[in-house]
Amino acid sequence: MYDFQDLRMTPFSWEVRLLLLMGVTLVLGGTALHKFKKSQNRTVSSPVVFCHSALLCLWGAYCFSSLSIFWGWILFSLACCISLAYSTSQEMLPVDGRAVLITGGDSGIGHALSKYLDELGFTVFVGVLNENGPGAEALKKGCSKRTSVFQMDITDTTQIKEVQTQIAEKVQHTGLWAVINNAGVLGTPGDGELLHMKIYRQCMDVNFFGAVEVTKAFLPLIRKSRGRFVNMSSMAGAIPMELLAAYSSSKAALTMFSGVMRLELKKWGIKVALIHPAGFKTNIGGTSETWAKQEKDILENMSPDVLEVYGRDYFQSTTRSFRQILNESPTDFSPLFTDILHSILCKNPSALYTAGIFSYLWICIISYFPVSVFDYLAGKIFRSNTMPKALT
């Protein structure tokens, strides 16, 4: 316990010293809470701010009720200093017309994100697969003059270089602040043995090699602004998911690439953030006609032996089950956009964002639990009830 005799030997009475300690504590605690709320109010919901404030207050109450005045003040002040340091690192930078490049803006997340950032006041450059398509035309008509749409197939080196040259001319004075590698393809879902190699190559070309080439092409512009790269991976890039051997492999490659680049580009002041979203309803799987064409293509190119083992009904049943999961996914992109905005504007963005329902939970399960636990849960939730012909 604190010896109050020591307080009597000071020029101030112990009551004055106590009031002084309490005053300093209140100032530190109030500053920490105010700074946290001010730095987070654009990206974090009010319940998060409330929980942070409540925990800090509860910690202070515990310190002063269970410890001596001296140690209670020391520990609570330390908590306030840590909170101040964290909130300072989480400060949000102003938009100020910062320029960002988004790939894959024809539809889905990239299309909606382009509109969202345009509304917030960003200068938005959007790469699309078809500059004359309905998605590109909607962006040209619906967005402000700050948004520019470019023809950019990220598997085409020539188109990437042409867009890089055009953007470099436009951002001579403001600089390019962020590149969001969003473009991606799902490929045809199905057991890994059933997918022919062109599906694996397509997923790697778009989801991995395309993102790598865009990153390399725009690195000089990002280096000038000391900006950041935001790479859109997937929950399937962190955990194994049945029927997604091609897609998951390409996203896992992008995940590792992002981690390596985060380490290598740190010396340049460039930050790299990785997004692992859960399932959101987009048209990444294509239309019903597209699925039917893909199924027909796989079945026609499947060897007779493999087709005999699996059966036509099994393949069609599993793909339809997966389509149903996609159609039942959430349509609200706001949790994802909150994380993306934080990765773009936060003074010290996180290395990994897990947007959407259960995304972080699945990563925790596969990271901290025995593999058998993950396999059991994944089998219960994701596995189709249909079995290959040879096993029935």
Cα–Cα distance between 166 and 156 in angstroms, integer? 16
* Most distant CA atoms of the chain, gap in Å: 96
Task: Read off φ and ψ for residue 287, nearest 5 degrees.
Answer: -85, 175
3-class secondary structure per residue, 195-236: CCHHHHHHHHHHHHHHHHHHHHHHHHHHHHHCCEEEEECCHH
Q: What value, to the nearest 5°, has the Cα angle with vertex 214 and ends 210 and 218?
A: 175
Contact 336, 277 (CB under 8 A): yes
Is residue 200 part of the annotated active site? The answer reads: no
Alpha helices in the chain (DSSP H): 5-8, 14-40, 46-66, 69-89, 108-120, 134-142, 157-170, 197-203, 211-225, 245-264, 288-301, 304-310, 312-327, 334-345, 359-368, 371-382
Contact 86, 109 (CB under 8 A): no
Encoded tokens for 110: 């990239």
Cα–Cα distance between 274 and 272 in angstroms, integer? 7
Spot the catalytic one: 2, 62, 86, 247: 247
- Give the residue carrying structure tokens 């239309």: 287
Torsion angle of C-alpha atoms 241, 245, 248, 253, degrees rounded to 10 = 140
What residues act catalytically?
Answer: 247
